[in-house]
Amino acid sequence: MDNPFRGRSTRWWAGAVAVVMVVGALGLWFGVPPLYHSLSARQARKSAISVATYLGLHLAESDLVVYYEHHPSFPDSSAYLVVESESGVSARDMRRRSGLASCHPAGSADFANAPPEYRPVKSPTLMSCKSVRTSHGFLSAEWDPAVDGGARTYLWATEM
């Protein structure tokens, strides 16, 4: 019986398999890391917002999370969020809904890990608030009413 894959046909199939393997390897090499990075960044954003929401953060539809960090650790995970509201009034409403009270001029806070554009600038008008500490944790926020009317809020959510 003659083998239908002999001769030129065998070389053609071997070449086709080699090309498919090279294209597949290149696709994995260049395609998987960006896909993984995109999925892990989306998960980190979701986790940061989830931690803050669990501790009382109430974002409005118009509030935009422009920066986030999620620090997972059991049992004390934390999140750092920078929230842009439409105006100082809507930011004040968000902070009120989230239970942030006991406001006073800000002392020192540790924002060293955040890029400079996502941490508050020290000023005499910088304000700080904390939520009531529960068995789950607490929220703390800083904002500057003299800058952008206080529309940007810097939030720490700390689980305990």
- The predicted-structure confidence for 29-88, as pLDDT tens digits, reads as follows 666 666 555 555 567 788 888 888 888 899 999 999 999 888 887 667 888 899 999 998
The answer to pTM > 0.75 is: no
DSSP string of 51-101, one letter each residue: HHHHTT----TT-EEEEEEEE--SS--EEEEEEE-SSHHHHHHHHHHTT-E
Q: Does residue 141 sit in helix, strand or coil? A: strand
Q: Is the pLDDT of residue 131 over 90?
A: no
Question: Residue ranges of the domains in the chain?
Answer: 36-159
**Does residue 105 contact residue 127 with C-beta atoms inside 8 Å?**
yes
Q: Name the nearest CA neighbour of 81 among 142, 146, 148.
A: 142
Omega of the bond prior to 115 within 30 degrees of 0, cis?
no
